Amino acid sequence: MIIGVAGPLAVGKDTVADILVKKGFVPYSYGNILRSECEKQGLPKDIPTLVRIGDELRAKDPAILSKMILEEITQNHVQYAVVSGIRAPAEAHALKNHYNFLLIWLDAPIYLRYQRTQASRRDERDDMSFEEFKERERQQMYGIGTQINLGEIRKLADLEIVNNTSIESLQNTIEALLCKLNGDN
C-alpha cells in the first residue's frame, strides 16, 4: 500500500508521514528528491530553487518524480510507503495508477498554517508576511508560473482530512484510517 499526502503550505504533510512511519510505512518525499538534485548541482535548497529544479525535471517528463519514487519502492520491495509533498497533477496520476494507492488531501485554515510557519522557524517561509504567504499559496493552488497545481491535486484526492487542532487529534484520525483500511473495527 502507498499512501500519498498532499496539501498546501504548512498543513502537516510531514507530520502525517511521521505518524505513518511510526506505523511501519517507509517515507518518500518529493522535497527530498529535489533537495538531493540541488545538492548534486551545488544549488541552495530554498523554495524558489526547489520549485525551479522540480519544473526543470517535470519539463522532461511531468511524472518523473513519481516514477523515481515508484522505482525506488519497487527496487526496495517496500510494502507500505508514504509519499508526501505531491504537488503536480501528473505526479498524482502516476501514483494513482499504482494498484494500491490512497491519496489524502490535508487542509487547515490559511492563517493557522501561517502561524505554524512562524512558530516552527523551519525555512524561508518564516520571513514571509501573511500577504506573501497567501500569494505563494495562490500560485501553488492554481499553477501560476509553475507545474505545481494543488487545486487539481485536491480534486484527485480519495479522502480529505482537516488538520486544525492538535497533533494528537491528527494522529487519532490517521490511526482510525489505518484501522478502516485494514478492515479492523
Q: Is-contact 14 141, C-beta < 8 A?
A: no
Average pLDDT rounded to a whole number, residues 145-173 = 93
- pTM over cut 0.75: yes
In eight-state DSSP terms, residue 25 is P
Average pLDDT rounded to a whole number, residues 48-74 = 91
Q: What is the pLDDT of residue 46?
A: 87
* pLDDT band per the 50, 70, 90 thresholds, residue 124: low
Between CA 116 and CA 119 the distance in angstroms is: 5
Average pLDDT rounded to a whole number, residues 165-176 = 96
In the chain, the DSSP E strands lie at 2-6, 26-29, 81-84, 101-107, 159-162
The residues near 140 (Cβ < 8 Å, ≥ 6 apart) are 8, 9, 87, 146, 148, 149, 150
In eight-state DSSP terms, residue 23 is T
The residues near 81 (Cβ < 8 Å, ≥ 6 apart) are 1, 2, 3, 25, 26, 27, 28, 73
What does DSSP say about strands 159-162 and 81-84: parallel, antiparallel, or unpaired? unpaired
* pLDDT band per the 50, 70, 90 thresholds, residue 145: confident
Greatest Cα-to-Cα distance within the chain, rounded to the nearest angstrom? 50
Instruction: Determine whether 39 is exposed, middle or buried from the number of CB atoms within 10 Å of its CB (0-12, 13-18, 19+).
Output: exposed
In eight-state DSSP terms, residue 113 is H
Between CA 13 and CA 19 the distance in angstroms is: 10
Angle at 52 (CA atoms; ends 55, 162), nearest 5 degrees: 75
